[in-house]
Chain A
Amino acid sequence: MSERYSFSLTTFSPSGKLVQIEYAINAVAAGAPSVAIKATNGIVLATEKKQSALHDETSLHKIEPIAKNVGMVYSGMGPDYRVLIRKARKLAQQYMLMYQCPIPTLQIVQRIASVMQEYTQSGGVRPFGVSLLMAGWDHDENRPYLYQCDPSGAYFAWKATAIGKNFVNGKTFLEKRYSETLELEDAVHTAILTLKESFEGQMTEDNIELGICDQNGFRRLSPSEVKDYLAAIV
């Protein structure tokens, strides 16, 4: 793909900006909202998945496991996300092969962020049009970690954050609602409420996705489990 181009397509503007990355960030901001909250005993990932009634909603997922102890969600371009899922999974397994140890969250975040940075500098490619929210449980330190990876390759550790459409309002909402003593159950509740702020229409178990990362690992919740949580907020 990039064998013929020896020069980068992402170049500096006179003001010192890399406009391609700015545009990629705009693509993320136009995507469906995603929210993540770190609680004392785990992390919740939540995202809006609006599909038409004709879609088979079970066949495509936004919240995906990367390793037994790490999962992620995105806002932005779905096809770009798929590429990153594959790369992240392979990197996590390479780590396991060498060290016989589950990959610490920061390590996989750094590796994926490095991949995303490559695509802003390599020849003939464009930046990824996604921001990732990666949630993992570190067994060594026995605590959860939440990170965001941007199209530029920058990564940030968060206690709670929102990305995608209306993310500014989402973060303001979280600033008010977040507390250090939040437990996972309450965090799920808060995440759903944050999504609800920008949600048009009725939230059902088929148009949102939830994922949980705790001591027992990462898993995506089934629609019936999502339904139970939704029932609590009505």
Chain B
Amino acid sequence: MSIMSYNGSALVAMIGKDCVAIASDKRFGIQGQTVSMEFPKIFEMGPQLYIGLPGLATDIQTVAQRLTFRVNLYELRENKRIRPKTFMSMVSNLLYERRFGPYFVDPVIAGLEPVTHKPFVASMDLIGCPMVTEDFVVGGTCSEQLYGMCESLWEPNLEPDDLFETISQSILNAVDRDALAGWGAVVYIIEKDKVTTKTLKARMD
């Protein structure tokens, strides 16, 4: 039994034209048994900055809460919104502080830069090794399936509506090949002036 697959999760974030999208499944299970179909794994850290946390459910919640703590203090001290790249370093620092007793999460970050509105995605491992990409990042128990789906469906400069279609198909088909992830999905499309949340109609098995 692997700790990272005790609860099950699917997370993906993609870059589009002047927008980013982040999607997750909604299952909360304890090994084989599904306990809830409304378990949030994506958290808002700023008006155009979101983090997705796949992995152990208790750590998903604790890391989200502790990050919110740090981000709030940062914004109060610095009197400004935190930038995606700085936020990524903050997450990395938080995880590495627990290097020898880590939080069992593999964060996925999606956001837009405050002034330039440049899209940003990043992911990291459970001890905080950051990875910034120009296309997409994935995480969770079906990350392999997600890599396959994203690699075939993604193309650069997708408009928000097309990005929504692409990310939705990627996550729906990937979780259908994973017993532990699925039971519904939610997508956030982040543009410079608004964030749209959509719940996907998925196979509920």
> Which residues of A does B touch, CB under 8 Å?
97-101, 104, 106-107, 110, 140
In the complex, A27 Cα to B80 Cα: how many Å? 37
Question: Would you call B77 an interface residue if the criterion is a C-beta within 8 Å of the partner chain's C-beta atoms?
Answer: yes
Taking CB atoms, residues of chain A closer than 8 Å to B86 are: 99-101
Choose among A98, A104, A107 the residue that contacts B93 (Cβ–Cβ < 8 A): A98
1/0 per residue, CB under 8 A from A, across B83-115: the answer is 001100110010000000000000000000000
A98 & B90 in contact (Cβ 8 Å cutoff): yes
> Which residues of B does A touch, CB under 8 Å?
77-78, 80, 85-86, 89-90, 93
Where chain B touches its partner, the secondary structure class is helix
Given A99-B86, A99-B90, 10 extra CB contacts under 8 A: A97-B93, A98-B90, A98-B93, A99-B89, A100-B89, A101-B86, A101-B89, A104-B78, A106-B78, A110-B77
In the complex, A140 Cα to B93 Cα: how many Å? 21
Choose among B77, B85, B90 the residue that contacts A107 (Cβ–Cβ < 8 A): B77
In the complex, A196 Cα to B85 Cα: how many Å? 46
Taking CB atoms, residues of chain B closer than 8 Å to A97 are: 93
Where chain A touches its partner, the secondary structure class is helix
B77 & A100 in contact (Cβ 8 Å cutoff): no
Q: List 19 A-B contacts (CB under 8 A).
A: A97-B93, A98-B89, A98-B90, A98-B93, A99-B86, A99-B89, A99-B90, A99-B93, A100-B85, A100-B86, A100-B89, A101-B86, A101-B89, A104-B78, A106-B78, A107-B77, A107-B78, A110-B77, A140-B80
The chain B residue sitting closest to A100, CB to CB, is B89
In the complex, A98 Cα to B93 Cα: how many Å? 6
Taking CB atoms, residues of chain B closer than 8 Å to A140 are: 80
The chain B residue sitting closest to A98, CB to CB, is B93
